[in-house]
Chain A
């Protein structure tokens, strides 16, 4: 695999860091909201918010990086519909990586709980406390997350399909290994 076929190292590091945090924050969010109120629940909520805000920062970094760097080209013989699908899914993933933590932050403010990143950095409340708005944003946060789940399944499915079924070295595009493989 030539270097041109691989994403830049910062892009790869950011990708896997975001992936790891999403794979922690998502199940945590699903699990924690059904719990009865307890100190443990309050802790999990805080951890979830801290991870979410971290993801928002990572997403901002990733969008900036993506807009200023050219990703490696897709294989020349790839079908046009696959290119379009790839573009659409990647675009939507970026949108959701921004929109999901943002909706969580707004929901938190609307429910009357400011977000204090790692218990240290207080984020401004962009909306006033408002029960109806809080419930609405909770619904939005959940819907966006189900959309993310669907997109991640497509994203991972497509990568695995290209790699293992079409037998193209697709995973190396986001891999650690800089050496060409056959």
Chain B
């Protein structure tokens, strides 16, 4: 009887170890409708919200092997909501995104490091208006029944990318810091 109990415990223990591997999912399919990319900036000290309606996100993430994860996001800058129709039009111009020459913003990850507690640090390169800058993006992974979500917030400096040149370079009117907030929802393969 005692021996049986030990065997049972051993079996439970093995099952417990095996379970994550058995259920391991690599998240590869991004669900655009449940994903969003927004931003917030300050204009004359006033917070203004905006976002992008169209973007293509490609990712691969296996919680068991986070180091092998990767992400690539391409944002269609024409889908901008810059807070008002007037600002949407203005943002297309040469001083801002110069959208006819640079229609997309791209982020490509280079390294993903687990910080514990389902939090990760994603390093990568953000390219806007022909300028690339290395960014560090914190990401929180939330497993879900049907889809997992990956949430993150980071701050970029618009002038690093030449966004808002000339008269708009005055950061007292439109702040240099832009808070980017994203949620990417994805399912396993």
Contacts and interface: CB of A to CB of B under 8 A. Distances in A.
Q: Do A and B actually bind?
A: yes
Contact of A116 (B45, B49, B87): B45
Interface stretch (B25-33, B102-110, B154-162, B166-174): B166-174
B43 A111 contact: no
Interface string A132-157: 00000000000000000000000000
B168 to A, nearest CB: 6
A38 B45 CA distance: 16
Contacts of B173: 39, 42-43
Interface of B: 43-49, 83-84, 86-87, 90, 167-168, 170, 173-174
19 contacts: A37-B86, A38-B167, A39-B170, A42-B44, A46-B44, A46-B45, A111-B84, A112-B83, A112-B84, A113-B46, A113-B48, A113-B83, A113-B84, A114-B46, A115-B46, A116-B44, A116-B45, A116-B46, A119-B46
Contacts of B43: 42, 113
A114 B86 contact: no
8 A-B pairs closest in CB distance: A119-B45, A39-B173, A46-B44, A37-B90, A116-B46, A116-B45, A39-B170, A42-B173
A42 B174 contact: yes
A39 B168 contact: yes
Interface in A109-136: 111-116, 119-120, 129
Interface residues of A, number: 16
Contacts of B45: 46, 116, 119-120
Contacts, number: 40
Nearest to B44: A46
Contacts of B44: 42-43, 45-46, 116, 119
A24 B87 CA distance: 26
A73 to B, nearest CB: 46
B47 A114 contact: yes
Q: Which one of A45, A113, A114, A119 has the greatest number of beta carbons of chain B within 10 Å?
A: A113
Interface string A11-41: 0000000000000000000000000011100
Contacts of A112: 48-49, 83-84
B84 to A, nearest CB: 6
A114 B43 CA distance: 10
B174 A39 contact: yes
Nearest to A37: B90
Contacts of B87: 37
B73 to A, nearest CB: 25
Nearest to B87: A37
B102 to A, nearest CB: 20
Contacts of B49: 112, 129
A177 B166 CA distance: 52
Interface in A80-129: 111-116, 119-120, 129
Given A42-B173, A43-B44, 18 more contacts: A37-B86, A39-B168, A39-B170, A39-B173, A39-B174, A42-B44, A46-B44, A46-B46, A111-B84, A112-B83, A112-B84, A113-B83, A113-B84, A116-B46, A119-B44, A119-B45, A119-B46, A129-B49
